[in-house]
Structure 1
Amino acid sequence: MENRNFTHESLSQKVAEFLREEILWSGKYHKGQHVEESEIAERLNISRAPVREALRELENQGLLIYVPRKGTFIPNFDHDDMMEILDIRYMIESRVFEILIKKDMLTEEDFSNLRKIVDDMVASARSDEPMEKKISAFSEYDITFHKYLWETSGRKWSNRILRDLYYQLRLAMMQDLIMEQDIELSAVMHYDIIDSLKHKDLDRAKKMLVKHILSLNREYSDNIS
Structure 2
Amino acid sequence: MTTSAFVKVHPKPRVWADSDQPGFWAKFAMDSAWTGPRKSALLYKLRRMKLSREPSLRDHTDGMLFLDMVNEKTDNLEALLAQSIGQNLGNLGCCDRCLNHKGIFSSCVTVASLKDIMPECANCHLKGEREECNFVDGLEYLTEDPDTRPLQRENETHREQPESVEVIDRLIEEEYHFIDEIMDSSADSSAEYSRRLTGHSQHISQLKTRRLSLLAAEKRAQRMN
Q: Fold-level match, TM-score > 0.5?
A: no
Structure of higher RCO (CA pairs closer than 8 Å, 6+ residues apart)? 1
Q: Which structure shows the higher helix fraction?
A: 1
Q: TM-score, normalised by structure 1?
A: 0.29
